[in-house]
């Protein structure tokens, strides 16, 4: 699923071209993933701005692959969707009648960190009316919002002791999702995983979209996303937040 789109640079009167390539294997935590390159395109040749040792990913979870974008989206937006799974275990996940869903649609932009341009990723605005109000209580399908002021840990768990842990490290500038004890992880040796995303600066707020078998985590400013499948034996009903939160 290759792609090439021209995206305006946030806060600048210019645009950059983004070349998208979905690869398998070779993802940051094994298996499938969506890589991208930022550069210029003259109609014949794409030239990447970055050095060969610089690797960039649209999403740092285990389950984001085959991303495609829509042309002529309303209000000149670049909207993307992807398949929420990984070829390492897509044929053996403990679901029947289907083999995973699509991720939430996402709006793409560009921002700069140091000398590098990166793709900005935010949930498309249309999903908020479908999900409903933000909450600090868990349900099968909900959006959770956590305001941060420093290192923090968010745990989602159920009465069976199954849990997913989200952690933010301000000094290292990383956010991680640990699903090693999230529920049924026995169907593949590649499924238990801790996925980690660079934050490109301080994180002020986490947006967590929880569904029956998935967790999608965003930074409010759109500088990273992590998409991971989970298969708890019963819904997560308890959330604890530790650390520096507002």
Helices (H), the chain: 126-131
Bridge-based pairing state of the strands 214-219 and 225-229:
antiparallel
CA-to-CA separations, 26 to 18, 55, 122, 232, in angstroms, rounded: 19, 11, 24, 27
Task: Point out which residues pair with 175 in neighbouring strands.
Answer: 168, 197
Interatomic CA distance for residues 198 and 127, integer angstroms: 25
Sign of the CA dihedral running 99, 82, 86, 199: negative
* pLDDT for res 134: 65
Asked whether the predicted pLDDT for residue 168 surpasses 90, the reply is yes
At residue 9 the predicted structure's pLDDT band, cuts being 50, 70 and 90, is confident
Interatomic CA distance for residues 210 and 213, integer angstroms: 8
- Residue 220, token pair as written in the block: 């409010």
- Structure-model confidence comparison of residues 235 and 244, the more confident one: 235
* pLDDT for res 24: 97
Strands (E), the chain: 3-8, 15-23, 33-41, 46-48, 65-70, 79-83, 106-113, 116-123, 142-157, 163-169, 174-178, 194-198, 205-211, 214-219, 225-229, 238-245
Asked whether the predicted pLDDT for residue 135 surpasses 70, the reply is no
Asked whether the whole model's pTM tops 0.85, one would answer yes
DSSP 8-state symbol, 94: S
- Residue 60, token pair as written in the block: 């740092």
Neighbour-count burial of 148, counting CB atoms closer than 10 A to its CB (0-12 exposed, 13-18 middle, 19+ buried): buried
Asked whether the predicted pLDDT for residue 133 surpasses 70, the reply is no
């Amino acid at each position: 699923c290759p792609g090439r789109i021209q995206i305006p640079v946030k806060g600048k009167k210019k645009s950059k071209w983004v070349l998208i390539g979905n690869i398998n294997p070779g993802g940051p935590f094994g298996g499938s993933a969506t890589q991208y390159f930022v550069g210029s395109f003259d109609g014949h040749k794409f030239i990447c701005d970055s050095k060969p040792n610089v690797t960039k990913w649209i999403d740092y979870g285990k389950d984001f692959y085959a991303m495609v974008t829509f042309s002529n989206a309303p209000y000149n937006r670049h909207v993307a969707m992807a398949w929420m799974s990984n070829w390492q275990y897509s044929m053996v996940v403990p679901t029947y009648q289907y083999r995973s869903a699509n991720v939430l649609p996402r709006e793409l932009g560009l921002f700069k960190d140091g000398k590098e341009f990166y793709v900005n990723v935010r949930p498309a605005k249309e999903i908020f009316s479908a999900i409903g109000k933000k909450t600090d209580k868990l349900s099968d399908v909900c959006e959770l919002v956590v305001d941060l002021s420093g290192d923090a840990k968010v745990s989602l768990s159920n009465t069976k002791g199954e849990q997913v842990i989200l952690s933010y490290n301000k000094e290292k500038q990383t956010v991680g999702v640990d699903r090693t004890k999230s529920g049924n992880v026995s169907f593949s040796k590649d499924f238990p995983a801790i996925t980690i995303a660079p934050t490109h600066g301080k994180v002020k707020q986490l947006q967590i979209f929880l569904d029956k078998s998935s967790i999608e985590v965003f930074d409010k400013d759109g500088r990273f996303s992590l998409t991971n499948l989970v298969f708890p034996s019963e819904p997560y009903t308890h959330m604890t937040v530790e650390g520096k939160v507002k």
